[in-house]
């Protein structure tokens, strides 16, 4: 009896693995909807077995910055990345200046409206 259950669980695991992460997530959601301990068990199994990890994507994303062995290309890439980082810093500073200018203009408009509003006392503002 236990062997049959274990065989069924192994075949279900293989079936879900063949269909990928969305199948595992769907099985977990269905488990939570119908019998929440089953959904919880599937979630814990997915975490324990690293089926929810993104390590392969992380490695491939960072592997592209490893030296290629071609010195000219590596220098070109390093220079391009440095230039892009400088442009990003300059653009961020530009956006900060725009935000400050907008805030200042809005504040000055508020103060002008407050001074000219009927019943408003502009003298009380220091």
Is 65 a member of any domain?
A: no
CA–CA–CA angle 70, 61, 92 (5° rounding): 95
Note down the domain range covering 81.
73-118
Question: Which two structure tokens, joined as six digits, stand for 107?
Answer: 């504040």
Q: Please count the structural domains in the chain.
A: 2
40 and 1 in a common domain: yes
Question: Which two structure tokens, joined as six digits, stand for 29?
Answer: 């959601």
Is 24 a member of any domain?
A: yes
Phi, psi of 54 (to 5 degrees): -120, 25
Is 6 a member of any domain?
A: yes
Is 81 a member of any domain?
A: yes
pLDDT classification of 84: cutoffs 50, 70, 90: very high
pLDDT classification of 68: cutoffs 50, 70, 90: confident
Is 49 a member of any domain?
A: yes
pTM for this prediction: 0.40
Is 123 a member of any domain?
A: no
pLDDT classification of 16: cutoffs 50, 70, 90: confident
| Contact between residue 11 and residue 21 where contact means Cβ atoms under 8 Å apart | no
Q: For the chain, how are helix, strand and coil distributed in percent, rounded to 5?
A: 80, 0, 20
Is 96 a member of any domain?
A: yes
């Amino acid at each position: 009896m236990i062997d049959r259950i274990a065989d069924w669980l192994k075949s279900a695991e293989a079936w879900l693995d063949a269909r990928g992460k969305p199948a595992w997530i769907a099985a977990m959601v269905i488990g939570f909807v119908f019998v929440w301990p089953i959904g919880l068990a599937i979630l814990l199994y997915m975490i324990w077995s690293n089926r929810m990890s993104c390590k392969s994507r992380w490695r491939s994303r960072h592997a592209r910055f490893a030296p290629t062995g071609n010195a000219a290309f590596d220098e070109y890439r390093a220079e391009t990345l440095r230039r892009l980082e400088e442009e990003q810093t300059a653009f961020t500073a530009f956006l900060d200046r725009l935000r400050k200018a907008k805030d200042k203009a809005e504040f000055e408009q508020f103060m002008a409206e407050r001074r000219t509003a009927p019943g408003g006392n502009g003298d009380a503002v220091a």
